[in-house]
Amino acid sequence: MTEYALEVSGLTKSFGGQPAVRDVSFRAARGEITGFLGPNGAGKTTTLRMSLGVIAPESGTARLCGRTPDAAGMDRVGFLPEERGVYRKMTAEAVIVFFARL
């Protein structure tokens, strides 16, 4: 069993050429409550989505309970994004899978 529930290292993501997350790294220890704070548009949701494997980072890595995030590991995670809408570029099947994983 790993010491950390979540480890991210060097996560980076851009949308339409605009950087959303740049080189974010942190660890959240198992059994502890960890806050992830920042102003609107700071990249918190994007970072969490990359951390859970919902979207792929351009660079960097995420480890969830000691392993690469995947559908099997999601049974130990609760994630409630602020918006409930769908992404414009997602297919109907991708939307269904996305909400099922949540």
Q: How confident is the model at residue 84 (pLDDT cuts 50, 70, 90)?
A: low
Residue in 79, 54, 51 with CA at minimum distance from that of residue 64: 51
Domains within the chain, CATH numbers bracketed: 4-76 (3.40.50.300)
Its pTM stands at 0.74
User: Which 3 state secondary structure label does DSSP give 100?
Assistant: helix
Q: For residue 70, what pLDDT band results from cuts at 50, 70 and 90? A: confident
Distance between start and end Cα atoms, the chain:
24
